[in-house]
């Protein structure tokens, strides 16, 4: 339950209900349930159903398909943070003999390993995992369809490999590792590899008639880390809060930011992928999360990090409502109707004079920039014209700073001092920033014309 302070306004709640009602009706879904998260807590849940008096609530399980991949990626990042592996390691280093061992762990996480999208026939989502008892059965005779590391190509078998990697390094079943290391610490007691009552049944709805057919329910076996899980909107709301803020018992906020950072992209569609997370833009809003589908089920978890609003949508039909579009609309409705109230401005507790000496106006050639110090200890470089490259920088502890985003991500910002200790200029990846444009006597690459600035005559 939510407290009165956390509840959404009546108009917002009605707009959310209207959106899922339209989705369930137009998508002809037997049932659809959704939850919105704000400030790390579920603030709204709604449901629509074709069976009167039996609307699902936030504790009814649905199959979540490829949202499972995000859970698997969290397990891999945990291993990385424990130094059991490095993301740049080739798979062969830890799981030899697969035939695709030249792909790195990062490649597999980002779907850039060149692997096929699906397993050999028969289609793995509608058949028993017993038909594919080992990785060789999942990969087949032609596991690579593209050069390793060259392009984004979504691969379900790639996540089967990552699940096998987790099992090898943990010496335990993927399902057991997931429960012990993620589900139990986060309190996701209604997320499981197999359905637990109450759960929805999966249905196919005829495309040209309002009739239904039950879909088969299969154990995916080796492919489980790519799409096995069942969950509820309540559990996925908690998972969305974790993916936004982190939880040091499971994974740090810094590692989750890494998961949300683009690692590969499908340029034609504008779709990008991080490490186990999809990155999209909808209506000018950046959204991260994952979609999922298996026969009989559609799912989406999406997060508007800048708005601090997340949405989960689950439906029990093979096709129908577009879960990402619905979830993105739920985020938009809340973000626009009830914009995030920023935290109160807070000053720094203590300011380093050496850093204060750097703030203010700087010039890269004739382009004007401002360097600002904020209460979080970061500095930001911002173009004063509104156009140009910008980035925040994190202190390294040795007087230099490393870029966190955009063009300058990973680049080193270094104050360069004169023999008397005064700051001469800033060096940013060989770009020189001076206090005046083309400063006379400054360390400007190529030098400055000795006659100085002049008119046209």
pLDDT band at 6 (very low <50, low <70, confident <90, very high): low
Percent residues over pLDDT 90 in the chain: 87
Q: Which CATH number fits domain 10-337: 3.40.50.300, 3.10.129.10, 3.40.190.10, 3.40.710.10?
A: 3.40.710.10
pLDDT band at 10 (very low <50, low <70, confident <90, very high): very high
The domain locations on the chain are 10-337, 353-433
Q: What is the pLDDT of residues 340-383, one digit of tens each?
A: 888 898 898 888 999 999 999 999 999 999 999 999 899 999 99
What would the two tokens of residue 357 be? Answer: 């000496």
pLDDT band at 4 (very low <50, low <70, confident <90, very high): very low
Instruction: State the pLDDT at residue 163.
Output: 98
pLDDT band at 1 (very low <50, low <70, confident <90, very high): very low
The topology under which CATH files domain 353-433 is Lipocalin (2.40.128)
Q: What is the pLDDT of residues 230-243, one digit of tens each?
A: 999 999 999 999 99
- Is residue 293's pLDDT more than 80? yes
Instruction: State the pLDDT at residue 440.
Output: 82
Q: What is the pLDDT of residues 146-204, one digit of tens each?
A: 999 999 999 999 999 999 999 999 999 999 999 999 999 999 999 999 999 999 999 99
Q: What is the pLDDT of residues 30-46, one digit of tens each?
A: 999 999 999 999 999 99
Instruction: State the pLDDT at residue 442.
Output: 81
Q: Judge if 10-337 and 353-433 fold alike in CATH terms.
A: no
- Is residue 2's pLDDT more than 60? no
């Amino acid at each position: 339950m939510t407290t009165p302070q956390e509840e959404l306004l009546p108009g917002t709640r009605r707009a959310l209900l209207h959106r899922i009602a339209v989705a369930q009706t137009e998508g002809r879904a037997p049932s659809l349930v959704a939850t919105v998260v704000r400030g790390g807590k579920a603030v709204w849940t709604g449901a629509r159903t074709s069976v009167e008096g039996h609307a699902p609530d936030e504790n009814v399980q649905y199959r979540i398909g490829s949202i499972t991949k995000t859970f698997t990626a969290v397990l891999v990042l945990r291993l990385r943070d424990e130094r059991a592996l490095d993301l740049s390691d080739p798979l062969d280093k830890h799981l030899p003999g697969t035939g695709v061992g030249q792909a790195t762990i990062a490649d597999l996480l980002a779907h850039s390993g060149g692997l096929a999208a699906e397993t050999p026939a028969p289609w793995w989502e509608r058949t028993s995992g017993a038909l594919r008892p080992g990785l060789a059965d999942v990969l087949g005779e032609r596991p690579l369809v593209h050069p390793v590391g060259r392009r984004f190509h979504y691969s379900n078998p790639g996540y089967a490999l990552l699940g096998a990697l987790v099992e090898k390094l943990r010496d335990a079943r993927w399902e057991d590792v997931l429960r012990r290391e993620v589900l139990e610490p986060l309190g996701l007691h209604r997320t499981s590899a197999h359905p637990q009552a109450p759960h929805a049944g999966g249905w196919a709805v005829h495309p040209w008639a309002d009739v239904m057919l039950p879909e088969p329910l299969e154990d995916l076996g080796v492919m489980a880390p790519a799409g096995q899980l069942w969950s509820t909107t309540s559990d996925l709301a908690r998972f969305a809060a974790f993916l936004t803020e982190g939880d040091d018992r499971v994974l740090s906020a810094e590692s989750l930011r890494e998961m949300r950072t683009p690692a590969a992209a499908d340029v034609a569609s504008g779709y990008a992928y991080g490490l186990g997370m999809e990155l999209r833009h909808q209506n000018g809003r950046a959204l991260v999360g994952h979609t999922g589908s298996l026969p009989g089920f559609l799912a989406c978890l999406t997060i508007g990090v800048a708005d601090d609003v997340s949405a989960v949508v689950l439906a029990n039909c093979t096709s129908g409502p577009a879960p990402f579009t619905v979830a993105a609309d739920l985020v938009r409705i809340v973000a626009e109707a009830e914009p995030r109230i920023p935290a109160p401005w807070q000053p720094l507790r203590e300011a380093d004079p050496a850093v204060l000496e750097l703030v203010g106006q700087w010039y890269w050639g004739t382009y004007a920039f401002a360097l600002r110090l904020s209460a979080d200890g970061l500095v930001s470089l911002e173009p004063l014209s509104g156009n140009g490259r910008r980035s925040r920088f994190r202190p390294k502890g040795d007087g230099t700073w490393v870029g966190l985003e955009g063009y300058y991500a990973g680049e080193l910002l270094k104050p360069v001092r004169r023999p008397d200790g005064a700051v001469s200029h800033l060096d940013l990846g060989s770009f020189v920033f001076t206090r005046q444009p083309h400063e006379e006597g400054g360390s400007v690459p190529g030098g400055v014309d000795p006659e100085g600035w002049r008119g046209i005559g």
